[in-house]
Structure formats: C-alpha cells, structure tokens
Amino acid sequence: MNALIKSATIIDTKSDFHNETVDILIENGTIKKIGKSIKNTANYKEIVLNNLHVSQGWFDSSISFGEPGFEERETIKNGLKTAACSGFTHIALNANTNPIIDNASNVTFLKDKANNNAVTMYPIGALTKASKGKDLAELFDMKNAGAIAFGDYKSPITNPNILKIALQYAQGFNGLVLSFPFEKNIAGLGVMNENFTSTSIGLKGIPNLAEDLHIARDLFILEYTEGKLHIPTISTEKSVDLIREAKKKTLNVTCSVAIHNLFLSDDTLKGFNTNHKVMPPLRTQKDIDALIEGVKDGTIDMVTSDHTPIDIEHKKVEFDHALYGTIGLESAFGALNTLFTTKKTIDVLTRGKQRFNIEDSSINIGNKACITLFNPNEKYIFEHDAIVSTSKNSIFVGQTLKGQVYGIISNNKIALKS
C-alpha cells in the first residue's frame, strides 16, 4: 500500500512532528518521509481532506459484536468495518459470544475471521468456563492462541477465591485479569441508577454501593496476591476514589470508563428510551464530574465505547425487559472531543495500548503506518444515518457532537469512509 497524505496536522506527542502540518509519504505500509511539501513523483494515491488531522491509531478495550452466535446483531466483518470508519485501528473483543470464548480454538477462530483487515482484533478470553464463574477457563492456552486478557463480560466474579486464584495463576505468564464491578445481591432487580429519578419514574434502582463494594473487595484481593488487575467500565465517584488510593499504594490496577457514562446522566431515562439502558447504569452529574476528573488526572487509564450491538427485538420492548447495551464506536470520537480538548481525546484513545501489550506506533519516519485520520472541529447532531453497525441501538442519537472521523491507515491497508 502506497499513499501520500497531504497537509495533515499531526497530533501525536511521541512524534517528532507533533502539532506540525505536513505531508506524509507511505510506501509499502511504512512511513518513508514527512515534510512540508512532498511531490508525488510516483503517482501514489493522494489523500486530501478538509482540515485533516492525524494521530497514531486508536484502541478500544471493550468491544462486542455478535459472531459467533448472534450474527443478527453484528458480524465480525461489518464490526471491523464500523471500527475502521470510527477511527480504531485496534480493538479488544469481549467474550460474550455463543459459544463463549473460553478455549484456544475459539480464540483462533476469531483471529482467523479478522485476519487480513485494516483493524487488528484481539480476543479477550473468558476468565471462567462458559463465564459461569465456577471454574477457571484455559487461560494459558488462550494466551498462547492470541487472547490479550481474561474476563467474564458484564458478569461479576461472585466467588472471591476464583479471583484470588486467577490473579495468582496469571502471574506465571503476565496475564491481565478483568473483574466487572457489580454486586448482584446489592443490585437486586434494579434496571437503572438508584436516585431521585428512579423513584420519580417508577423504575427499580441499582445503588452505587453495588459497584463500590465489589471494587473494594477486588482491591483487597489484588493487594494480597500482588497480581495484575483491570477493572472495566467504572461509573461512580467512590470507585474513582478507591482506585486512586489503590494506585497511591502502587497496586497493579488499571480501569476504564464507558464514554456514555461521561456524557449522559440518569435524567435522560425519563423518556424510557431503552437505548439508554446500559450496564453499569447512567449515574448522576456528581458521578460524571468525578469520572471526568479521574480521566484528566490519570486515575482512569482509558475510555471505551463499550460498543454492544443489540437487535431491535431485544430493545424495542418494555424497559424492564430490554437488554443492556448501546453501540458506541461511531460516536466515540465526537463525544469525547466534545468533553475534552482534542489533544486529551487522542491521549485517552491511545494510552490503553500499553496495558494490553499492544505495540505503540508513533507517526515517525521508519515506523509502520498506523494512523487515524479525522477533522476535530466539525460540529453536528449525531443521527441514525451515521450508524454503520447492523444494530442501531445508539444512546447518542440526537446528541450534538464535535469531530468527524475519516478513517484509518493500518496493516498496510487504507480504510476510509466512502
């Protein structure tokens, strides 16, 4: 793949050309030259786009598709296309398929399905067999097959001894253990945040305690085992405080937050829109403020779209019966770029790579081209026609966002929006 990117502003603090507007010459998938005005002597494909900005490729640590088992929600092929159109060169795929990704052959199947694509997909293996929380899955075999972490998606580890054993066992091969913070016995039959809003509209609430208590337990176990833990999609003020304190104690812990938990509060549920039914639930503005501060000061290590396609048959039902989840890839950059500066947005979209042992490829001469192309200034209302996913269950429809993605260059391929 050969190309000449014209007049692009580089946003990459690890690049020698950070904040400069330059041309970028790519030959055979490698950056060969960066300069103010490069002539296209070889007649390569020229990429000329309005207010073009580029950064190193983005990473999303929590993506769900459907295949295998739920292809009506999303196939791997269309899911990877969606990721590319949304600016993501690397994604971690959750283990919530049918069958569950709990052995090496399932990991290999997914890797093969995603082969030869501009987007690199990394499977997350289930922590326990069939994600039932009883027995550890084949962690080491899945690691060797290409799994980058281990966790039961949206399913908490109810048995603390399972977490203890997993953290101890995974140290033998530098494995990363994920623990979803949700105490079922506290949450009960709740379907949204427990607050004034839940009482006023008559929906059962999930208190912050359900998350906070679970995180406190996990951090005690982590300190005991001296393992390596990632806590996905936190949502409460207390969670931020607990993880901040754990990091001060130098525990090996990281965490993420879903973009919608930074952007929307539980007030939006007054309309009973099931696309707003997510897990963890939307919280209060006080929680949002604490989460945003956690992103800014580095307590929260990464931000995820937590992209979860759900077919209409499981969303267009009564709120209590609707499945949890929203798609989020297509709106991820625009939402984050509305909340933070563009520099900070790019930072949180790329800094999760290190935790998952993914190569960090800066925009420098001699490096492989792993680039996201975007316009950070365009404001727009996010509508259904912007959705590339097969499922259309977006929490962001109707929201005003800032920043459009053009596509990616990665794995010696160009994938731009048509």
417 CB neighbour count, 10 Å cutoff:
13
Helix (H, G, I), strand (E, B) or coil at 13: coil
d(CA 380, CA 373): 18
Helix (H, G, I), strand (E, B) or coil at 8: strand
The count of C-alpha atoms lying within 13 angstroms of the C-alpha of 374, restricted to the half-sphere facing its C-beta, is 32
d(CA 162, CA 200): 39
Q: Which of 23, 212, 266, 306 is catalytic?
A: 306
Amino acid at 204: K
Q: What is the DSSP string of 15-67?
A: STTTT-EEEEEEETTEEEEEESS---TT-PEEE--TT-EEEEPEEEEEE---T
C-alpha distances in Å from residue 413, one per residue of 38, 82, 89, 253, 301: 21, 15, 11, 35, 29
C-alpha distances in Å from residue 49, one per residue of 8, 53, 165, 177, 349: 9, 9, 52, 41, 22
Determine what percent of the chain falls in helix, strand and coil, rounding each to the nearest 5: 35, 25, 40
Fill in the DSSP letter of residue 176: P
C-alpha distances in Å from residue 136, one per residue of 64, 176, 180, 259, 302: 22, 14, 16, 30, 27
Q: Is 360 one of the catalytic residues?
A: no
Q: How many helices (H) and strands (E) does the chain have?
A: 12, 18
The count of C-alpha atoms lying within 13 angstroms of the C-alpha of 7, restricted to the half-sphere facing its C-beta, is 6
Cβ neighbours of residue 402 closer than 8 Å, sequence gap 6 or more: 334, 337, 338, 376, 377, 378, 379, 380
CB distance 211 to 182 below 8 Å: yes
C-alpha distances in Å from residue 1, one per residue of 7, 91, 160, 192, 417: 19, 22, 50, 48, 17
Does an H or E element contain 258, and which? strand 253-258
Report the catalytic residues: 306
